Chain A
Amino acid sequence: MNAPNKSGWKPEMQVAEDGFLGGPVTSTGNRGLMLEEPLLFEIGRKDVTGVDLPEVDPAAPTRLGGLAREEAIGLVGLTEPETVRHYTRLSRQNYGIDLGFFPLGSCTMKHNPRLNEKMARLPGFADIHPLQPVGTVQGALEVINELAHWLITLTGMHGVAMSPKAGAHGELCGMLCIRAALEARGDKRDVVLVPESAHGTNPATAAFAGFRVEDIPATPEGRVDVAALRARLGPDVAAVMITNPNTCGLFEKDFREMADAVHAAGGFVYCDGANFNAIVGKVRPGDLGVDAMHINLHKTFSTPHGGGGPGSGPVVLSEALAPFGPMPFTARTADGVVHLVEEESAAEFGHTQAFGRMTAFHGQMGMFTRALTYILSHGADGLKQVAEDAVLNANYILRNMEDILHAPFAASGPCMHEALFGDKDFTNGLSTLDVAKGLIDEGYHPMTVYFPLVVHGAMLVEPTETESKAAIDQFITAFRGVVERALEGDEALKQAPYYSPRRRLDETGAARKPKLAYEG
């Protein structure tokens, strides 16, 4: 926040170097609806609270084992009106899908239907405890079971582990199933092959699961180099992790061939399903030889991204891996009862090879209700339309940009749900970052930048299916405008953004001397 000017303040006009009159400097630092907001710890008070609870009786007997907390905790409070205003003002410094186009590649920032929110808040789902007797939570278990059925059917797989908490947790689940399957057959192979274009979570997950990670190169067309993959396969290769559609926005057309080769060599095929939105209802990964694939419910199935989660990452499994899926999970018996299969009942349900447990309870129930609501709203026909419109929108952007912006794989054919560009032709030292910041001034959330690593200065644009043609046309106009400035070497772009709540932030300084909590 700016320090307020001293009293007796008179407006002072800001004049830029080019003589442009920027409007008056304000005493508050606010600029109309662009409102500054102090930190909670600068406005809260130790003796203020926004809830009405009984006063603490210092004479009341306690049974705290002599460990009563005597020192001040260091927290501050606000009343309800102050709290609501504080966080509402902060919210206005954020960009979200509700405000505009958010083409963050690989993140599938689609509209979050509000019916999902309403359903997740039904007390029958929101106000039940994970350890209630299962007879009192049959409806919740049915939700999990019904969603599991949809996920299995949409992917053509054999089973699904519902408990993973997010995409990377799902990846871990899938890779642990592979480890367990290898152990069960006494196989010591420990190398996982990961393409250079993979999400960073893939190699991190494989390493976390105890594997050694090796890269496989990409072809100039932006796909996995099948020959290089074949050449590397052998008795030490446990699995490959392939993203399909891949992070260059292309379908791995030789996926089946690769999967067959991996299987023939005794390995497993993990598919990163982050980009499932492009193919849902169009092709089933199970038909391509996948052994395990996580599905980000917060991407394909519209549960909100929430400023960084919570996500949800169920993992669909092939017949070979399903027996190793973690506990707990649901199973419906002929009498219509849905059971929660945990450590105790695993044997009864013939699930004795489960690799263990990934989380305390049963997974992201709040996300399951939202995802199921979304799936039921769309149905089999609507989901297919989702993939088609998402792919159509991305190709439309690709073909409207490729004449001025380097599109390294445009000649490879159609893209899937996202279009990939590079910074090859920018001049005067302008970069992808400058274009991203220029788009902020135009009122857009930028695309994913500098990922995938296989393209220099990558810009990955994922429009999703929930944008109108008018919205996309307007984005194309704005994007072309910013790109043209980068091609011409417009120096002013290096200072962008100009119109956001903050100008460029000093990230190097933040890392050099980390300040990670309020002091004072």
Chain B
Amino acid sequence: MRYLPLTDTDRQAMLAKIGASDIDDLFIDVPEVARLDGPIQGLPMHASEMAVERHMKKLAAKNLVAGEVPFFLGAGAYRHHVPASVDTIIQRGEFLTAYTPYQPEIAQGTLQMLFEFQTQVARFYGCAVANASLYDGSTACWEAVAMATRVTKRKRAVLSGALHPHYAQVVKTMAHFTGDEIADALPAITPDPELSGLIGRIDEETACVVVQYPDILGRIADLTPIAEAAHAKGALLVVVNTEPVALGAIKSPGEMGADIVVGEGQSLGVGLQFGGPYLGLFAVRDPKHVRQMPGRLCGETTDAEGKRGFVLTLSTREQHIRREKATSNICTNSGLCALAFTVHMTLLGETGLRQLAAENHRLACLAADRLAKVPGVEVLNNGFFNEFTLMLGGKPAREIIRDLADRGVLGGVSLGRLYPGVEALEHALLVAVTETTTEEDIERLATELEAAIKETV
């Protein structure tokens, strides 16, 4: 077995040293009735690299690769170009095969990287402090709600109807068990986000309002009035961002008064990966909230010789110290995805992030204009960044999406899939455009969409 260095001679010598005659002497505490004699039946035996590779490639070949067709899916996961050097760096064994930096003297690489990551995230979210990452945007969203209930000592969270429905599901699932109350709603299908209704739902019992920016339909709203309304009632504003590239073009949530900003970091460095692993981002605007934050935090300090160094800090919030009183149960986070994000963000810098955002927006505007010309199709949004909603004039979006796939175009996400059972959204299609989209791709989508609509009753 190519991964097991012990030889039978080694094993015999080691057993002799231990004073055991047989390996099973070391398993005597396993009740005999439960101990297995040989390899578990019905499973294959070990296989060569070549054989395993052949099997895995066969499975991979059954998938339609996003990069090989005109591709327009978003809804919380975006296809961006990841510079080649990102993958080279994350494959360095010193990063790939390290673990949580419990011994800071020999983990300064990971720790300094996390300090840089926290600084980048805090700045582009318009916040004071970011943590060292969580699992993904949806779990970060729940952690934000949980934190808001701790800070305000209230138990009710108001969710915007235009929050990603899967994020809302995660929050509702958790709240059901913690006894927190979640007020959710369906998205209003309007060209601009409907803020007055949301503001009207905030009261003195509200721990936080959760708003997505840009929202699930791709729309953008000034969040300042919501922040003011929330603060007037003693509630916090939680802003969720699923497309970090957008923040190279639009105001940061922190600037508009968000108290907690969370999001998905997958767009930078991580790739699509069929939904995971992704990267949960979490930041707070006011440093006084730091001690209520979940997850690992990296801080600057000095060593015994007075040199600057970094350590994990404020761990009295965490499960390994506080046990049942911890702010979260999280242990392993998304370290390597955070590294990928930081390397990509370093390559972009202020200049590159702004250029990348501008290019996304330019192509999205082109696409919106072109698709609006398809008979029977309307663009819902007034404002958007790189994703917008198409109304298909009563045609079923899910069927059209499948039809487009048969024509070799991955044409978007049908809102009916995200909101099953909501009739009004069955005819809506979410289309995302990034720098990887070409003008030919847009033309192809427009042509195929027109044909698909014609053929669909």
- Is A bound to B? yes
Q: Which of A466, A503, A506 contacts B3 (CB 8 A)?
A: A466
Instruction: Indicate whether A377 sits within 8 Å of B31 (C-beta atoms), given known contacts A200-B320, A306-B95.
Output: no
Interface residue ranges of A355-374 to B (CB < 8 Å): 355-367, 369, 372-373
The answer to whether B106 and A501 touch across the interface, beta carbons within 8 angstroms, is yes
Does B457 sit at the interface, judged by CB under 8 A?
no
The answer to whether A125 and B274 touch across the interface, beta carbons within 8 angstroms, is yes
Does A33 sit at the interface, judged by CB under 8 A?
no
In the complex, the chain A residue whose C-beta lies closest to that of B127 is A517
Q: What would be 30 A-B contacts, judged by CB atoms less than 8 Å apart?
A: A37-B112, A48-B349, A60-B358, A68-B251, A83-B347, A124-B60, A130-B276, A136-B410, A143-B59, A176-B177, A199-B320, A209-B177, A309-B277, A344-B420, A357-B169, A359-B170, A360-B164, A361-B274, A361-B275, A361-B276, A377-B2, A382-B3, A385-B1, A386-B4, A465-B6, A469-B6, A505-B301, A509-B301, A516-B313, A517-B115
In the complex, the chain A residue whose C-beta lies closest to that of B31 is A256
Q: Which residues of B contact A362 (CB under 8 A)?
A: 274-276
In the complex, the chain A residue whose C-beta lies closest to that of B132 is A308
- Give complex CA distance A366, B326 in Å: 29
The answer to whether A56 and B275 touch across the interface, beta carbons within 8 angstroms, is no
The answer to whether A250 and B220 touch across the interface, beta carbons within 8 angstroms, is no
- Give complex CA distance A132, B79 in Å: 12
Q: Which residues of A contact B59 (CB under 8 A)?
A: 124, 139-140, 142-143, 146
Q: Which of A166, A380, A514 contacts B332 (CB 8 A)?
A: A166
Q: Which residues of B contact A169 (CB under 8 A)?
A: 135, 139, 330
- Give complex CA distance A213, B322 in Å: 13
Selecting from A260-268, A315-323, A393-401, A423-431, the interface stretch reads: A393-401
Min distance, Cβ A44 to any Cβ of chain B, angstroms: 6
Selecting from A70-78, A225-233, A480-488, the interface stretch reads: A70-78
Instruction: Indicate whether A46 sits within 8 Å of B135 (C-beta atoms), given known contacts A75-B345, A99-B93, A312-B277.
Output: no
- Give complex CA distance A93, B298 in Å: 16
Does B152 sit at the interface, judged by CB under 8 A?
no
Selecting from B35-43, B194-202, B437-445, the interface stretch reads: B35-43
- Give complex CA distance A364, B1 in Å: 27
With a 10 A CB-CB cut-off, give which of B101, B264, B272 has the most chain A CB atoms.
B272
Interface residue ranges of A132-171 to B (CB < 8 Å): 132-133, 135-140, 142-143, 146, 150, 153-154, 165-169, 171
* Number of A positions contacting B (CB below 8 A): 209
Contact digits for A408-419, partner B, Cβ 8 Å, 1 yes 0 no: 000001101000
Q: Which residues of B contact A76 (CB under 8 A)?
A: 346, 349-350
The answer to whether B324 and A206 touch across the interface, beta carbons within 8 angstroms, is yes
Q: Which residues of A contact B276 (CB under 8 A)?
A: 130, 165, 310, 359, 361-367
The answer to whether A509 and B329 touch across the interface, beta carbons within 8 angstroms, is no
In the complex, the chain B residue whose C-beta lies closest to that of A129 is B73
Min distance, Cβ A339 to any Cβ of chain B, angstroms: 14
- Give complex CA distance A66, B224 in Å: 13
Contacts A284-B36, A514-B313 aside, 18 further interface pairs with beta carbons under 8 A come to A53-B352, A87-B95, A90-B113, A95-B103, A128-B64, A136-B405, A139-B62, A207-B324, A208-B178, A210-B177, A210-B179, A306-B334, A343-B169, A367-B277, A393-B14, A468-B6, A495-B304, A510-B313
Q: Which residues of B contact A468 (CB under 8 A)?
A: 5-6, 10
Q: Which residues of A contact B118 (CB under 8 A)?
A: 516-517
Does A497 sit at the interface, judged by CB under 8 A?
yes
Q: Which of A95, A142, A309, A342 contacts B333 (CB 8 A)?
A: A309
The answer to whether B135 and A94 touch across the interface, beta carbons within 8 angstroms, is no
The answer to whether A502 and B347 touch across the interface, beta carbons within 8 angstroms, is no
Q: Which residues of B contact A350 (CB under 8 A)?
A: none
Q: Which of A55, A64, A369 contacts B250 (CB 8 A)?
A: A64
- Give complex CA distance A84, B346 in Å: 10
Q: Which of A90, A356, A505 contacts B104 (CB 8 A)?
A: A505
Min distance, Cβ B298 to any Cβ of chain A, angstroms: 7
Interface residue ranges of B297-336 to A (CB < 8 Å): 297-305, 307-311, 313-316, 318-326, 328-336
